Amino acid sequence: MPEQFIEQKSQQLIFYISRYFRGRLPHSELHLFVWDTLEEWAQLNAGVQLPYTRRELVFWHLIHQLEFWPDNQLRANKQLRRSIQDCICYLKGVGVAPADCVGVRP
């Protein structure tokens, strides 16, 4: 079940981040998506003991980055944007998982 959740939410996360970076989604909507995702995860009652997949590590890393960094940093910090883009590429199935993407379940 967690794998299905991560797969579905990864596709939505790609969509939201892509629209945000193109200036077609306000930061507030991105923030709401993150919190909705966290709420859905909590409702999954995911006292998950399964090992992490690489995809899940990258997914939770991205969720953390979106909440940790303020709007101006997400938009202006080129290194941060490149790191986020690398993670998105991996979630799309293009490229390799960045080594520094180590997210944890909430």
5-29 pLDDT per residue, tens: 999 999 999 999 999 999 999 999 9
Predicted confidence (pLDDT) at residue 98 exceeds the cutoff of 90: no
In this structure, what are the phi and psi dihedrals at residue 5, rounded to the nearest 5 degrees? -60, -50
Which helix (H) or strand (E) is 48 found in, with range?
Answer: none
Report residue 104's pLDDT band, with 50, 70 and 90 as the boundaries: confident
What is the rounded average pLDDT of the residues 65-78?
Answer: 96
**């995911």: which residue's tokens?**
46
What is the rounded average pLDDT of the residues 49-68?
Answer: 92
pLDDT (0 to 100) of residue 46: 61
The residue among 101, 99, 85, 105 whose CA lies nearest residue 5 is 105
More confident residue, 69 or 106: 69
pTM above 0.85, yes or no: yes
